[in-house]
Structure 1
Amino acid sequence: MASRKHAFRFSAADRVQDSRSCSEPFTQMRILPSVALSDLSRRGSRISSRVPPVNPWRSSTAISHDYVSSLKSVPTSSKRGTRILTKMERPTFKMAGSELNELPNTVFKMENLENLVLSPDENSCLHSKLQYLPKEVGNLLNLRQLVLDTNELEEIPNQLADLKHLDTLTLSNNHLAALPEGFSKLTKLHSLHLANNRFTAIPVGVCHLENLTFLDLSDNAIQVIPEEICLLADKLSTLILYINDLEELPDCICDLQTLTTLWLGKNRLRRLPRRFGELENLDWGEYPSDTNINDNPLTTPPLEVCRKGAVAIRNFFSKNDRTAD
């Protein structure tokens, strides 16, 4: 397999590049695909639950006394890259730039924090990345959104599983090959971003996230989809497996009938499961895209049939069955 890893890159299914410099206010979370992004937006796919743009404080030293009290504790540094954003009861803290090299412990004492962003967001900041995530992250029991993409993380502490209110987790562009013990306890998680890491299989723990609607595992080295994937059948609407090493799909993937978006492009698939046509909500026919199924050595059905969507695939297998009879 040709190496896909680079010193840095925005993966095919990760986030929209922002044009501001590191010193300017953070007003937009960048979470989803640059490839066919307009298509996903038009289709209404649930991409993330990002906090709407707000007017941020320029540094943590500018926070009012009342707000400091509500957070219990905040960093006192005003170095470039630190931002506190406020919106009603959804306090958000963002840190980028050199402070990622020496993350202050006070970050993990913000007891009421709901959104935490620790990610370099501009080319000028990319020399400063988070090397590890302290176990104290488990103290942020009210956290709902955690963004840790584009760092140098090789593992995530088990204490992450204590964040029972977490609904969005972004870990794309790191060096992860596994998820922490107890990950399946994050039952409120609905959006999980794991693009451009080192996974060789979809972690079984992910399959137990009963409220998951969005899963991005693009640009890994995935060869195996576990049978437990069917446990996501009730709510999963977007599954991105673009750029992996899949040679076959388990039949149980056909149980994910809530899927509207499924990206299987740039794998090694030669055939699709016979029941694949049951995925009637797939948008392949309505919104054709190279990311859907292109760049696979498909023979059953042929690629030109697959591009037309679930109905064409179902008709192909039905015709073959009649011929066999």
Structure 2
Amino acid sequence: MATGRFSRAQLNQLKICDDQGGWKLDLSGSELDRLPPAVTRIEALTSLDISDNPRLRRLPKDFHVLAKLRQLDAVHCGFDKFPPSICSMRAMTSLRLSLNNMTQYPDLAPDLQRLETLELVRCSLVEVPACVTSLGGLRHLDLKCNRLSARSFPPDFVNMKIEDLDISSNDMASIPDCILGMSSLRTLRICHCNLDSLSPAIAQLKHTTDLRLSHNNLQEIPAELCSLTQLEQLHLDHNRLTRLPRCLVNLTKLIEDKDNFMIGENNLLDPPQKLCDNGLKSIIEYYKRNN
């Protein structure tokens, strides 16, 4: 893949380039207030970065002619609504639109079925756009640092095939049921969310391998969490835990490396916090000695 990055002085001199491997164009931080017309004539363009152009409020109507574009990074632009010209770009697999205060989201389903990654970080979302649930190919969704609550997710969110979900730095006292029911989840991050309890329904996340619940207000861990035997990463640090369930010994994949099980900065008494900081292996040995 050929790569080009252009200064503002060069924008008007962009050459139409075609390459069998496709083109990657980086226009980030170029003080754009509109996309140079020459960009939409680069037929082989497969990746475009226009991030950090806060005066860029719109994409041109003919943007969809970039039929081979697979990746668009438009973080921290001036978009106040989801760019409609993106909706018909069938080759798109990765879309990063974080740090845009978009209030309108059109129907994304018809032509964005190949979209695998969608990032909407710090977009002032108070609810998950209903159109997101129609993206059948979506596997990675990043919604952290918004204003979401447990009621912000549409009921059919549970039917999505997402494998990696990050909803950290939102405000929810509990994990939404529609997330606990997602059988496809492999990685779930819910840190800095003011969680104060975990539902026994967490046992439904039986295929999850990476669960991060750091920096919340959890005071206890339900025994049902111990049934998640596929876990390879479990982060429970910076909560308000005082005790751990003995059944944690069932999570054998967390033993290999103490960094796989993060439990620091709690108020643990049983087992003692200092011992727990040494990892799950030390916890198991403690339970054996205190049977």
TM-score of Structure 1 vs Structure 2, range by shorter chain? 0.7 to 0.9
Correspondence for 2:277: 307
Between 1:134-143 and 1:160-169, the stretch displaced more is 134-143
The answer to whether the aligner puts 1:56 opposite 2:25 as a matched pair is yes
Closer, same or farther in 2 for the Cα pair 1:277/1:305, shift >3 Å? farther
Tell me the distance in 2 between the aligned counterparts of 1:292 and 1:190: 22
Tell me the distance in 1 between the aligned counterparts of 2:131 and 2:80: 21
Correspondence for 1:219: 192
Q: Post-superposition shift, 1:245?
A: 0.8
Correspondence for 2:103: 132
Q: In structure 2, list runs of 5 or more residues that go unmatched.
A: 1-7, 9-22, 28-34, 47-53
The answer to whether the aligner puts 1:245 opposite 2:217 as a matched pair is yes
What TM-score, normalized by structure 1, do the two folds share? 0.67
**Percent of aligned pairs with the same residue?**
23
Tell me the distance in 2 between the aligned counterparts of 1:142 and 1:288: 35
Tell me the distance in 2 between the aligned counterparts of 1:190 and 1:271: 30
Give the structure with the larger strand fraction.
Answer: 2
Q: Post-superposition shift, 1:312?
A: 2.3
Q: CA RMSD in A?
A: 3.1
1:134-164 alpha-carbon deviations (Å, 9 max, x no partner): 1423443321110001221111122221111
Aligned pairs, number: 247
In the alignment, residue 55 of structure 1 is paired with which amino acid? Answer: K
Tell me the distance in 1 between the aligned counterparts of 2:36 and 2:190: 34
Q: Post-superposition shift, 1:133?
A: 5.0
The answer to whether the aligner puts 1:114 opposite 2:114 as a matched pair is no
What TM-score, normalized by structure 2, do the two folds share? 0.74
Correspondence for 1:144: 116
Alignment check: 8 A CA contact 2:258 2:279 kept: no
Structure-to-structure mapping, 1:160-309, within 5 angstroms? 160-177=132-149, 178-187=152-161, 189-234=162-207, 236-282=208-254, 286-288=257-259, 292-309=262-279
Q: In structure 1, list runs of 5 or more residues that go unmatched.
A: 1-22, 24-53, 71-77, 121-128
Alignment check: 8 A CA contact 2:58 2:79 kept: no
Q: Post-superposition shift, 1:223?
A: 1.5
Tell me the distance in 1 between the aligned counterparts of 2:194 and 2:130: 23
1:225-258 alpha-carbon deviations (Å, 9 max, x no partner): 2222222223x22111110010111101111122
Closer, same or farther in 2 for the Cα pair 1:90/1:303, shift >3 Å? farther
In the alignment, residue 149 of structure 1 is paired with which amino acid? Answer: V
Between 1:256-265 and 1:110-119, the stretch displaced more is 110-119
Tell me the distance in 1 between the aligned counterparts of 2:206 and 2:36: 43
Q: Post-superposition shift, 1:212?
A: 1.5
Tell me the distance in 2 between the aligned counterparts of 1:320 and 1:152: 50
Tell me the distance in 2 between the aligned counterparts of 1:197 and 1:231: 22
In the alignment, residue 181 of structure 1 is paired with which amino acid? Answer: P
Correspondence for 1:40: none
Alignment check: 8 A CA contact 2:106 2:131 kept: yes
In the alignment, residue 199 of structure 2 is paired with which amino acid? Answer: P
Tell me the distance in 2 between the aligned counterparts of 1:224 and 1:132: 31
SS at match of 2:24: coil
Which has the higher Rg, Structure 1 or Structure 2? 2
Tell me the distance in 2 between the aligned counterparts of 1:137 and 1:281: 39
Q: Post-superposition shift, 1:183?
A: 0.8
